[in-house]
Amino acid sequence: MNIAKAIVPVAGLGTRLLPTTKSLSKEMLPVGRLPVVHHVVEELATAGIRQILFVTGRNKSAIENHFDDSGAAVCHFGYRERGIEFFFTLQPPPPGTGTAVATGEAFAAGEPFVVAFGDSIVRTRSGQPLLQRMIASHLHHCAACTIGAYEVPEDRMHHYGILVPEVATAEDSKLTAILEKPTPTQTLSRLAVSARYVFSPAIFAHIRATAPSPSGEVYLTDAIASLIAAGDPVRAVRLRADEQRCDIGNHLSYFASFIDYALDDPEWGAQIRTYLREKLADDSS
């Protein structure tokens, strides 16, 4: 069995990146030569995904325009020739990651599917990419949910959903809990969600049963916690040491991600590396 469908939530407002995102959505910010969301789509295509639903919001038309199959750019990227189809729908209220995923229930049509948030890139430089390993694990273990995961420093835990694995050091492990933005005193785990998921259709009932948070948002983390509490198998697959999550959530991470991709540019990377060395030498003199 193959998994061919993915839901890509892109309705976020990007307030932490203001004023950069005042008129341009964070998913369309360039990272190297291509916008963030284009890197995400390439990751999905490499994993065998052929139908992609973007769950969008107001002022997100640039994303739809970028993947418009009548444009010359799409002919250049070859999505039509690769059999990849794009679909777009608006996220309804209430806000939250759970609502974004639930919007794709009809699209999923009772099949397992991938969720990849459109403001986060996972780079795999060699070997089998993370998402392919996640899909293989999900199908092998008949999981209800499989989550991409990576270690974060203790002082960054409160920014992420933190996963508690059954085997602390395993590359692929069953989870016993998922905690939304915990403090270091709540768990010894430092394993954070990497914005990549594989779900069975069972997640939709758990999202519907999830009450909004005090802020009014329906969190995907709460629905996954409900899956675990119900005894459904939920697993985590870790990023390897040579893989990198580029989280375009604030200016520092955006700048770092752009520099990383610019340095790897096949045409200009060497010159950019030389420029940075000269710049740093000048600043230290």
Which conformational region is residue 4 in: left (phi greater than 0), alpha (psi within -120 to 50 degrees), or beta? alpha
- The pLDDT value recorded for residue 73 is 53
- The pLDDT value recorded for residue 285 is 61
Find all residues with CB under 8 Å of 251, minimum gap 6, and list them.
17, 20
- The pLDDT value recorded for residue 157 is 86
What sign does the CA torsion over 39, 179, 55, 203 have? positive
Rounded CA gap, 196 and 129, in Å?
12
What does the block give as tokens for 266?
A: 């096949």
- The pLDDT value recorded for residue 160 is 83
What's the pTM value of the predicted model, to 2 decimals? Answer: 0.93
- The pLDDT value recorded for residue 221 is 93
- The pLDDT value recorded for residue 70 is 65
Each residue's pLDDT expressed in tens, for the chain with a length of 285 residues: 789 999 999 998 888 999 999 888 999 999 999 999 999 999 999 999 999 999 998 878 899 989 886 655 555 677 888 899 999 999 998 889 999 999 999 999 999 999 999 999 999 988 899 999 999 999 999 999 999 999 999 888 888 889 999 988 889 999 999 988 888 889 999 999 999 999 999 999 999 999 999 989 999 999 999 999 999 999 999 999 889 999 898 999 999 999 999 999 999 999 999 999 999 988 766
- The pLDDT value recorded for residue 283 is 73
CA of 105: how far to CAs of 6, 54, 229, in Å? 11, 13, 22
